[in-house]
Homo-oligomer: A and B are copies of this chain.
């Protein structure tokens, strides 16, 4: 089980966008993080499709958060990039083989599927409890106050 590496990039980008007051191009975000511009663009497209960020076209275009950072949860970002389908998929093998359970007895998911779904539910609940604003706060706490402001001003500077 492995999560798409783009999730990390997308999360960092969302935190960074918190400090921006104008649209930020994907290329500039890639430059800031020193990652592939083309691939990061793909992740931003996913965020745009999910409605978390809004794309602005044209010369001074870029991406902007559509809502306040405290209204975007980690789960939103993860699901936007990595998809909403659960990691565990029950293939109903109980209905196969010589001792198959008849379909009429399968009104609810089997115990295994229920347990796995519960675990994923706990995972999602944990992700939903944290917002981008919380992450921004942790950055300020870790790197000192004003760290995000510095990033915000760097984003406004003309690119090197």
CB-CB under 8 A for A143 and B74, given A88-B8, A122-B123, A126-B118: no
Counting every copy of the chain, the complex holds 2
A interface, over-half SS? helix
Q: Mark A125-142, 1 if CB is under 8 A from B, else 0.
A: 111001000110011001
A5 x B119 contact (CB < 8 A): no
User: Complex Cα distance A99/B5, Å?
Assistant: 21
A158 at the interface (CB under 8 A from B): no
Contact of A90 with B by CB under 8 A: yes
Could you say which residues of chain B place their CB within 8 Å of the CB of A119? 74, 123-124, 126-127
Q: Which A residues contact B (CB, under 8 angstroms)?
A: 1-5, 7-9, 11-12, 15, 31-35, 74, 82-83, 85, 87-91, 93-94, 96-101, 105, 108, 110-112, 114-116, 118-127, 130, 134-135, 138-139, 142-143, 150-151, 154, 160
